Amino acid sequence: MTVRLRPTLAALPAYVPGKSVPGSIKLASNENSYGPLPHVLERIAAAAENVNRYPDTNSSELMDALAAKFGIGSDRLVVGCGSVSLCQQLVFATADEGDEVVFGWRSFEAYPIISAIAGATAVKVPLDGQTHDLRAMAAAVTDRTRLVFVCNPNNPTGTAVSGAALLRFLDEVPSDVLVVLDEAYHEFVTDPSVVDGTTLLERYPNVIVLRTFSKAYGLAGLRIGYGIAADPAITMAVRQTQVPFAVTQIAQVAALASLEPAAERQLAERVAEVTAERGRVTAELRNAGYQVPDSEANFVWLTNGPAEAGGIDATAFAAGCAERGLIVRAFADSGVRVTISNPAENDKFVSAAHELRA
């Protein structure tokens, strides 16, 4: 006799991380190639001396720093083990078995996984081209819907919805349905029409905005993110579904150091370098004949389709990159996502893309 496990596990989709191949350039996981700032590394080293102690389970100092940064009460904030952990906690807090979680597809791969773990039904709404179809997503909301994810900018396509479209959407969603604005790539947005979700909270108390220190801040390996809501009941519910001591003290210290004024200025400089490289790589790819949507994240997206229309075969393209020492993230049914790295690594990718187009 074997241990009885939940039947849901048999059909649970697996999260597929970006591969790391020794000797190859990894452009598969949207990591920041620059890493943490020097003073942040110093704080990490100092904090490591106390790993025999449990961390502050409430992340009190970091919560206070974030409250000061956004000019809000700390009761409207929650810190988690990366924003993906907060996504899972929010589903656990809102959805029971048979309830629905709505999101665009393709979007962040974790959404259907965490919905299934909670016993909820994942409702996937096809993108309009490469961008969220917010009208269709609003129409997909039923009396069983408990939560809607809007990944903006969207992972893996890099596209973002405009503020006007988002406001129309939020006006249509019932006020008892939680809308999660997953803004993991917010720092890389340059399009002025894309709204900062935190500015919408007072108008829409059923919204929570998620951010992370993994991408722009270069702390992916430490797993730390946060959420901001207008309604403290939402953040309290997230805290209730959190594993005790989920956020390490090292992660808290690193995030706190990353929020210092001097660090924020250095961060802005690094982000500007990434977005400039994003524009350069996008232009190079388009000149080579690839169809590449405008990205507001730290990666670009190449779409499946006929070569004469600028498309690719995702599996073949990824294999061709791997042969040239470049690891990209292929989604066999839809396209390839490529992280924007430093200029030298970006040049190698552009060169490979030209060769694969020849």
What is the model's pTM?
Answer: 0.96
175 with 279, same domain: the answer is no
Does residue 1 form part of some domain? no
Helix 38-47 / helix 249-258 crossing angle, nearest 10 deg: 150
180 with 307, same domain: the answer is no
Which CA distances in Å does 67 have to 2, 14, 70, 248, 292? 49, 36, 5, 20, 38
Calculate ∠ Cα 264-268-269, nearest 5°: 120
206 with 343, same domain: the answer is no
Task: Please give the radius of gyration of the chain, using alpha carbons only, rounded to the nearest integer.
Answer: 20
Does residue 183 form part of some domain? yes
191 with 49, same domain: the answer is yes
Does residue 305 form part of some domain? yes
195 with 331, same domain: the answer is no
Could you give the 3-state DSSP secondary structure of residue 61?
Answer: helix
pLDDT of 147 reads 98
Does residue 203 form part of some domain? yes
192 with 341, same domain: the answer is no
Domain end among 215, 237, 259: 259
145 with 271, same domain: the answer is no
Number of domains in the chain: 2
Does residue 2 form part of some domain? no
Does residue 97 form part of some domain? yes
126 with 86, same domain: the answer is yes
C-alpha 328/C-alpha 356 separation (Å) is: 14
205 with 226, same domain: the answer is yes
229 with 150, same domain: the answer is yes
pLDDT of 20 reads 86
CATH code of the domain covering residue 12: 3.90.1150.10
pLDDT of 1 reads 67
Q: Which two tokens stand for residue 335?
A: 């396209």
Domain that holds residue 271: 7-30+262-357
C-alpha 68/C-alpha 58 separation (Å) is: 16
Domain end among 259, 274, 297: 259
Which residues of the chain fall short of a pLDDT of 70?
1
Structural contact between residues 23 and 214, judged by C-beta atoms closer than 8 angstroms: no
Domain end among 208, 224, 259: 259
Q: Which ranges in the chain belong to alpha helices (H)?
A: 38-47, 60-70, 83-94, 110-117, 134-140, 163-172, 232-240, 249-258, 261-287, 314-323, 343-357
C-alpha 37/C-alpha 259 separation (Å) is: 11
CATH code of the domain covering residue 55: 3.40.640.10
202 with 348, same domain: the answer is no
